[in-house]
């Protein structure tokens, strides 16, 4: 066998699988301020003012709300960032990450 024969038998798998998507979910509580929720939606998830207000109202009324759907690593990172910010300000806001 020559080097050419070997090279011809090697196949490359170039199919890429799209990453699984995960929901970032805020859970309502009675201590985290509505303004803090709005501010984090704007800063961490690029909501505009009116969309952030609407999403905050949904979370407040329904007890929870999906704020973003992202690949796992991004969803987890955003959840951690918001949770750390909440704890630093004394808020018990819970953020969950679940498969979409």
SS3 assignment, position 15: coil
pLDDT at 78 > cutoff 80: yes
Enumerate domains of the chain plus CATH numbers: 20-99 (3.30.1390.10)
Q: How confident is the model at residue 11 (pLDDT cuts 50, 70, 90)?
A: low
Confidence band, pLDDT 50/70/90 cuts, at residue 46: very high
- pTM of whole model > 0.85? no
Look at residue 11 and give its three-state secondary structure.
coil
Q: Which residue has the tokens 């951690």?
A: 80
- Residues contacting 51, CB < 8 A, separation 6+: 41
Instruction: State percent of the chain over pLDDT 90.
Output: 81
């Amino acid at each position: 066998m020559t080097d050419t024969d070997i090279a011809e038998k090697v196949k490359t798998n170039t199919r890429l699988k799209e990453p699984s998507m995960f929901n970032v979910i805020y859970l309502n509580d009675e201590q985290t301020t509505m303004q803090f929720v709005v501010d984090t939606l704007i800063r961490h998830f690029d909501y505009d003012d009116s969309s952030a207000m609407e999403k905050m109202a949904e979370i407040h009324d329904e007890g929870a709300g999906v704020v973003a759907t992202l690949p796992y690593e991004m969803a987890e990172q955003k959840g951690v960032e918001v949770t750390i910010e909440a704890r630093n300000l004394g808020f018990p806001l819970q953020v969950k990450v679940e498969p979409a």
